[in-house]
Structure 1
Amino acid sequence: MNDSTQIELIKRLYPLISNKNYNTVLELCSPDAVWIYPTVDNVPYSGVWKGQIRIKAFLERFTESEDIMEYAPLEFIGNEGRFAVLGQLRSVARPAGRLWQSKFIHTITIKDQQITHFEAGFDTAAALKAHQADREISEKNKEIIMTMIERIKNGGDIDLADALIGGEYIYRSTGGGEYHGKDGLRSLVASYRDAFPDFRIRVEQMVSDEHAVASHCTIFGTHKGKIMGIAPTGKRVKIPALIMSSMREKRVAEEFEIIDTEDLLSQLSD
């Protein structure tokens, strides 16, 4: 395979990747080929990928994480199976939705008509900035939910709901009941306080992304009001719970709370 034929092989690579034609890309690679991308925080396709199975995993992650607008090789330097490819990448990072672009240099080795080595260089700072939005949004969502729990559910500051929940806010629970909007949230907090005047939620762990927050919590309270048909017992309860909060436009859109009602009933009846 002469140099011009090898360059044509390399040229085929970029539209195949952009169009997610993974199997054809793999046909161009040797079984033990190695692809290397610089390690960048929050960029899921960075790292070393060896062998066709791992390279396919890389391709899937790359095209899932990037909405590629331009992936163009512009200049080819080299011969006898060793090439440097200079080009331009323009993409929208998913799911953050941030446009970023970078010039790239790819070093590619070809042997026996197959790519054996592919190593990428690009503007890692631009990639980090584009993909870092995920973490920023995720952390902001955690702050919103923590404020929701501490200030509204624990503290009773219902007026703060105007800044935290969406107009179509819905709360549902395995314990029963459905509450809508600010007035519904007010009723929910009142129902907590009626049954457990010293009601408190303690957050044990939070996991979040740009769309949702999962909060593993423990609920504490002294039973001094009727709940689930059970008259006040004066007993102190401690109940595990999981709160799933969906986020939309930087506000809480929906919450689903999973409560161990059997454990609650058991504690109240002991």
Structure 2
Amino acid sequence: MSNQQYKTIVRRVNEEAFSADGDLSVIDEFVAADLVDHTAPPHLQHGNASLKELALIWRRAFPDLKVTVHDIVAEDDLVVIAWSGGGTHLGELMGIPPTGKSGWMSGITFNRVQDGRIVERWGNNDQVGLFIQLGLMPAPAAG
């Protein structure tokens, strides 16, 4: 497969699976059953079913969740995306009760793709910034 095809796969999985109005079936189609996700919480790091559960956790917590891939780079089997996502916190998020507030975060995710399927993921995001927006953490003091 070409780098362009790999880019399309990674974009679709991230934008469709993690957006509330997107199609979760992209995970079954484009994520390996034995996926290793170094970014996910420890209990959700293995398998495409875990990635689907992670997407559902975020979609239930933010029923209007929208994820957008802003930039994407591919070299060989590695596809890197810069993304942002957010919405209104109306459902429980990993034990955190709904705040009713809106928030956004951005991140970067590295995806290893083999034979048309994502097999491994690493990433970093600004979850602290999201928690500040939701009123779950104080903003850092100025100065």
Give the distance between the partners of 2:110 and 2:60, measured in 1 at CA: 24
Under a length normalisation based on structure 1, what TM-score does the superposition of the two structures give?
Answer: 0.45
Give the distance between the partners of 1:194 and 1:151, measured in 2 at CA: 15
Do the aligned partners of residues 250 and 201 (structure 1) sit closer, same or farther apart at CA in structure 2, a change above 3 Å counting? same
Give the deviation of 1:228 after TM superposition: 4.9
Residue of structure 2 in register with 1:249 after alignment: 115
Give the deviation of 1:164 after TM superposition: 0.8
Per-residue CA shift, 1:166-196, capped at 9, x if unaligned? 221122327x343332321221111011211
Equivalent position SS for 1:173: coil
Give the distance between the partners of 2:35 and 2:14, measured in 1 at CA: 15
Residue of structure 1 in register with 2:65 after alignment: 199
Give the deviation of 1:223 after TM superposition: 0.6
Alignment RMSD: 2.0
Per-residue CA shift, 1:124-182, capped at 9, x if unaligned? xxxxxxxxxxxx721111011112123322244233333211221122327x3433323
Residue of structure 2 in register with 1:147 after alignment: 12
Equivalent position SS for 1:187: helix
Structure with the higher fraction of residues in helix conformation:
1
Greater relative CO (CA pairs within 8 A, separation 6+): 2
Q: Map 1:129-144 to 2 at 5 A.
A: 137-144=2-9
Runs of 5+ consecutive residues of structure 2 not aligned to the other structure: 139-143
Residue 5 of structure 2 aligns with an amino acid whose one-letter code is K
Equivalent position SS for 2:2: helix
Equivalent position SS for 1:185: helix
Equivalent position SS for 1:263: helix
Give the distance between the partners of 1:183 and 1:156, measured in 2 at CA: 17
Number of matched residues? 134
Give the deviation of 1:266 after TM superposition: 1.0
Do the aligned partners of residues 162 and 262 (structure 1) sit closer, same or farther apart at CA in structure 2, a change above 3 Å counting? closer
Under a length normalisation based on structure 2, what TM-score does the superposition of the two structures give?
Answer: 0.81
Give the distance between the partners of 1:201 and 1:254, measured in 2 at CA: 20
Residue of structure 1 in register with 2:99 after alignment: 233
Give the distance between the partners of 1:158 and 1:217, measured in 2 at CA: 18
Which of the residues 72, 82, 87 maps onto 1:221?
87
Residue 267 of structure 1 aligns with an amino acid whose one-letter code is Q
CA contact (8 A) 1:156 1:189 kept: no
CA contact (8 A) 2:39 2:45 kept: no
CA contact (8 A) 1:204 1:216 kept: yes
Residue 123 of structure 2 aligns with an amino acid whose one-letter code is E
Give the deviation of 1:252 after TM superposition: 0.5
Residue of structure 1 in register with 2:141 after alignment: none
CA contact (8 A) 1:212 1:247 kept: yes
Give the distance between the partners of 1:179 and 1:156, measured in 2 at CA: 22
Residue of structure 2 in register with 1:259 after alignment: 125
Percent of residue pairs bearing the same amino acid type: 26
CA contact (8 A) 2:37 2:120 kept: yes
Residue 152 of structure 1 aligns with an amino acid whose one-letter code is A
Equivalent position SS for 1:180: coil
User: Which deviates further from its counterpart, 188-197 or 150-159?
Assistant: 150-159
Give the distance between the partners of 1:183 and 1:205, measured in 2 at CA: 26
